[in-house]
Amino acid sequence: MKNIVAIHDISCFGKCSLTVALPILSAAGIETAVIPTAVLSTHTGGFSGYTYRDLTEDIMPIFRHWQSLGLKFDAAYSGFLGSPEQLGIVEEIFRELAAQGSLIVVDPVMADDGKLYSTFDENFPAGMRRLCERADIIVPNLTEAALILGEPYREGPYTREYIEEILTKLAAIPKKLAVLTGVYFEGDEGRLGAACIDVKTRKTEYALAERVPGSYHGTGDVFASALAAGLLLGREPQAAMQRAADFTAAAAKRTLDNGTDRRYGVAFEEGLGTLQYMS
């Protein structure tokens, strides 16, 4: 069985980060260890008054304890970080894991819809870019890609030329693959998904699924977790992106049909059974 370390916050209510990464990776048949970066009563997207416990001090001791036990990991996957200092700490963990051959996946969670999340300041994106440079695979959305590249954010729908221009710039950052999410095209606004570029071959590929009306909290984490699972299990990038896009779209569709508050996260649970065939 493959194993992975997932490094994200725990938002206690409002499914995202570890509360989606853990079930999705486990359902795909991957043993998942976690390092929580912060504990919040809810995520920060649309709730006010949330509690926030920063776990910066705990991250390295957790990792050092694991090292003392001789634990090895096939992959590591980071998302929402609890403080700017965690960028350097997680970078060090990735440096050590990469030296042992682990696959490093970074979702540079920090922004959406053209806006940086409220917990980060304007210096954070430059630090996140450095963390992305340590990764084999990065999974930014279009806002995060613009921030990492120091470009202005553009709203969709997009042209193929624009997406390919961003992908070409992103290809300078990770070691293997850059996957861009939130991609949808002029004239094809009923579909939404991801595009990727292979850093070595410069080949670009697309995976679009049904575009469910509205915006749903946590879909970036759902997509990246399913994608990380597929790639770790050896799927080709296009197949892994398509599986992740279909899984995410189905979860958003159930949420729309159920009429649940979109801040509460998407109804991914009923789809988990489809991921066990990932291997």
Q: Which residues bind ligand PXL (CB under 6 A)?
A: 9, 11, 16-17, 40, 43-45, 80, 109, 117, 218, 220-221
Is the Cβ of residue 144 or residue 205 nearer to ligand PXL in the bound state? 144
Is the Cβ of residue 2 or residue 43 nearer to ligand PXL in the bound state? 43
Give the C-alpha separation, 47 to 16, whole Å. Answer: 14
Beta carbon of residue 245, minimum distance to ligand PXL (angstroms, whole number): 17
Q: Which contiguous run of DSSP H or E holds residue 33? A: strand 31-42
Is the Cβ of residue 94 or residue 120 nearer to ligand PXL in the bound state? 120
140 neighbors 128 (Cβ within 8 angstroms): no
Is the Cβ of residue 199 or residue 266 nearer to ligand PXL in the bound state? 266
250 neighbors 271 (Cβ within 8 angstroms): yes
Give the C-alpha separation, 26 to 233, whole Å. Answer: 12
251 neighbors 266 (Cβ within 8 angstroms): yes
List, in sequence order, every residue forming a beta bridge with 53; answer none if it has no partner: 39
Tell me, rounded to whole angstroms, the distance of Cα 91 from its chain centroid: 16
Strands 188-198 and 177-185, how do they pair?
antiparallel
Is the Cβ of residue 194 or residue 197 nearer to ligand PXL in the bound state? 194
Is the Cβ of residue 42 or residue 204 nearer to ligand PXL in the bound state? 42
Give the C-alpha separation, 267 to 108, whole Å. Answer: 23
Beta carbon of residue 44, minimum distance to ligand PXL (angstroms, whole number): 3
Beta carbon of residue 223, minimum distance to ligand PXL (angstroms, whole number): 10
The three-class DSSP label of residue 179 is strand
Give the C-alpha separation, 85 to 66, whole Å. Answer: 21
Q: What is the DSSP letter of 101?
A: T
Is the Cβ of residue 229 or residue 266 nearer to ligand PXL in the bound state? 266
Beta carbon of residue 168, minimum distance to ligand PXL (angstroms, whole number): 26
Beta carbon of residue 23, minimum distance to ligand PXL (angstroms, whole number): 15
Beta carbon of residue 188, minimum distance to ligand PXL (angstroms, whole number): 26
Residue whose entry in the numeric block shows the structure tokens 């292979």: 198
Is the Cβ of residue 19 or residue 242 nearer to ligand PXL in the bound state? 19
Beta carbon of residue 1, minimum distance to ligand PXL (angstroms, whole number): 27
Beta carbon of residue 244, minimum distance to ligand PXL (angstroms, whole number): 15
Token couple for 161: 């030329």
- Which is nearest to 141 in space by CA: 78, 223, 200, 76? 223
Please give the span between the terminal C-alpha atoms of the chain, in angstroms, as a whole number.
10
